[in-house]
Structure 1
Amino acid sequence: MRSRVLCGIAAAAALLTATACSTTGGGSGSEAATGATGTASAGAFPVEVADCAGKKTTFAGPARRIVTSNGSALEMLLQLGAGDRVIGTGFPPGKGTLPAAVADQGAKVPVLGEMGIAKEKLLGSGADTYVDTFGSMDMMGGAGGGAPTEAEFAAAGIRHVYLLSTACTATAKGPRTDLAEVEQDIRRLGAVTGTGAKAEELTTAMESRVKAVTDALKDLPAERRPGYFFFDFDAGTKQPVALCGRQVANAVITLAGARNVFADCDSDFRPVSWEDVVAKNPDWIQLGVRDRGSEAENTKAYAEAEAFLREFPATRALPAVQQGHFLRIGSEVTTIAGTRNADTVQRIAATVHPDLVRNGS
């Protein structure tokens, strides 16, 4: 199944992400937050953006012909109103994955690779900008001879930029506990596409939704933060894949007033054993499945994930399983950087702290 393959790739990506990221996030609209110089919110150029190692790329004018490495960057660009400039993508979002408001436009973006984009196809795409979610990963498909070098990008006239929230995890200092880097990525893309005003609108809305939750939970003592396990059902059930502290979802879980039981594993994702999961004894389990494209298919997938946990000898005796402490929230809105991370914070908080947070409030 394609969704399982993609999820397995996402887990593998954790081991192959790019090197050092010197950005830290920061205040709204600041250079520290955007990783860009110039008055980006006003659409002024030139604009400079830094990669994970701090190397800067200059945009004398807005990006016009963009290729994205996967659906995460594509979704951000669509929401920024720059979707008409995306001429191709790898790892295309599955049916039903994109928000309804941009789904039709997203479906029209040419697919340059069902997984990674072959090197020669990327270099010959006519793009002036390549937005890379994971950084220097050798996942360009077998035909293209690996990922292009920076010199090859330059020779093809392609500016190579990154989503720092996912490309810089290899040297992140400790677990991620906020969405500052996700907001930073949205502002960076706004800067290079001249849609800075829309980027501020999107990030301000995210901040408002998250603040409503964190304000409601501000007096929550540590002992009331329930243990939380993200069950990556699409990664397979033979060996569970732990969602670790460096992954964006760790911030989502933390902001929602829960405690990721695998926050201390120093990675994005890491294979663990079912014995490890049982030892953590989570209070709540998120049934992390990828969108199947319809409500009926999603309901079926959640039911399959729950049934596995209820029937599997290692997990069926867990109190969370016996009490039915399951959350049916999709993988994409939890583990992939984007504006919908803020919605997931609210949904998780409303489930595990219904006395303090209401969903949709």
Structure 2
Amino acid sequence: MWGGTAAVVLGGLLAAGCGGGGKDAADESTGKAGKSAAGSYPVSVTDCMGAKTTFSDAPKRIVTSNASSLELLLRLGAGDKVIGTGFPPGKGTLPGALDAQGQKVKVLSQNVIPKEKLLGSGADLYIDTFASMGGMGGGGMGDAPTVEEFKAAGINHIYLKSTACAAQGKKPVRDLSAVEADITSLGAVTGTSAKAKELVAGMKEKVGAVQKAVGGTAAGKRPTYFFFDYDAGTKQPTVVCNRQVANAVITLAGARNAFADCDGDNKQVGWEDVIAKNPDWIQLGVRNRGSEAANKKAFDEAQKWLETNPATKGLKAVKERHFLRIASEPTTIAGVENAETVEKIAKTLYPGKVG
């Protein structure tokens, strides 16, 4: 799966970069990199607490914490520098030619990479997608190396701030600027800024077209939207709050996140809370199983659960069969496909207006 367990385990995927807005996430890299399209160095980036890491040249041996950061590097053309990953992408879960490339990357762990294995990997850079990896005041994902241990091993440690800083965000996330800043920053660090610029431009173009079509819709006329994280469990639903990148995806698509009043990234609620919201639309958020048939089966299961469960079968969206079959990963995890998801949602909610 593409980040598989990530949608829940990460505890908050992709919200605003540390205290609001994507500018901060790329300021240091683009500011000092200036001519980064040509791979100019030094390049500096900061973490959620403002600690700076400076690169005198491009990293040569990169380890990624999960499939989302791996995919970004593959899209940037820096995949040949990746020597290992945790939370690997399942076969068939990455788009197009990226899938075969992703399958060639050495798997250091199916989950969080053990500390000893990471420190002994020979990497000179570790890209961390996870929220709360020890050094930033969080509870940590596993036994994370300390700043001193990373330094002793010769490994620079940087974060995808749109994800790792999500829980610390100070305001709701309503755009993809933090994700775009992560792409820009990674491009500067890896000497692939020209490609990063191209990817960001493509995202802006897609989202811009949607905004032109539906951006002027009054708040009260926007349909309410519930992201049903089926794979997170059905006993107690896990919802996306206003610091999560999914809140931006939903908002940009012209909808209202049913739980936009929840400050944070993700939160467990009761089904009575979902019933009280009574959303107009429900996204069947299942993780990519790697094939069209397997994905259809998972979507069918999620839909059937909603249609037969006593607590949910009376919901407006369920009765009207207002379901969207869009995978979890491009909605909740940072990446180029966030913009494509904005477009997909908008086309469903506003038929004839978008695309």
- Pairwise same-fold verdict (TM > 0.5): yes
Task: Kindly provide the CA deviation profile for residues 155-213 of structure 1, in whole angstroms up to 9, marking residues without a partner as x.
Answer: 11000000000011122122110000000001111011100000000000000000000
Q: Which of 138, 141, 144 is 1:139 aligned to?
A: 141
Please report the RMSD computed on the Cα atoms of aligned residues, expressed in angstroms. 2.2
Question: What is the distance in 2 between the residues matched to 1:304 and 1:218?
Answer: 33
Paired position in structure 2 for 1:87: 83
* Percentage identity across paired residues of the two chains: 59
Question: What is the distance in 1 between the residues matched to 2:255 and 2:199?
Answer: 25
Which structure carries more relative contact order (alpha carbon 8 Å, separation 6+)?
2
SS of 1:113 mapped into structure 2: coil
Q: 2:344 corresponds to which letter in structure 1?
A: R
Paired position in structure 2 for 1:226: 223
Paired position in structure 2 for 1:266: 263
SS of 1:112 mapped into structure 2: coil
Distance 1:16 1:217, change over 3 A: closer
* Aligned length in residues: 347
| Segment drifting more, 126-135 vs 94-103 | 94-103
Paired position in structure 2 for 1:280: 277
Q: Which of 313, 317, 321 is 2:314 aligned to?
A: 317
Task: Kindly provide the CA deviation profile for residues 321-357 of structure 1, in whole angstroms up to 9, marking residues without a partner as x.
Answer: 0111000000111111000000000000000111421
Question: What is the distance in 1 between the residues matched to 2:254 and 2:20?
Answer: 26
1:327 aligns with 2:324: yes
Paired position in structure 1 for 2:137: none
C-alpha contact (below 8 Å) 1:225/1:258 kept by paired residues: yes
In structure 2, stretches of 5+ residues that fail to align are 135-139
Distance 1:34 1:314, change over 3 A: farther
Measured after TM superposition, the shift of residue 74 of structure 1 is: 0.3
Measured after TM superposition, the shift of residue 62 of structure 1 is: 0.4
C-alpha contact (below 8 Å) 1:36/1:188 kept by paired residues: no
Question: What is the distance in 2 between the residues matched to 1:23 and 1:321?
Answer: 35
Paired position in structure 2 for 1:247: 244
TM-score w.r.t. the length of structure 1 is 0.91
1:106 aligns with 2:108: no
Measured after TM superposition, the shift of residue 17 of structure 1 is: 10
SS of 1:100 mapped into structure 2: coil
Question: What is the distance in 2 between the residues matched to 1:170 and 1:320?
Answer: 29
SS of 1:57 mapped into structure 2: strand
Measured after TM superposition, the shift of residue 101 of structure 1 is: 2.3
SS of 1:111 mapped into structure 2: coil
Distance 1:200 1:218, change over 3 A: same
Paired position in structure 2 for 1:61: 57
TM-score w.r.t. the length of structure 2 is 0.93
Paired position in structure 1 for 2:32: 37
Q: Which of 121, 127, 147 is 1:125 aligned to?
A: 121
SS of 2:108 mapped into structure 1: strand
C-alpha contact (below 8 Å) 1:67/1:87 kept by paired residues: yes
Question: What is the distance in 2 between the residues matched to 1:158 and 1:165?
Answer: 21
In structure 1, stretches of 5+ residues that fail to align are 141-145
Q: 2:174 corresponds to which letter in structure 1?
A: T
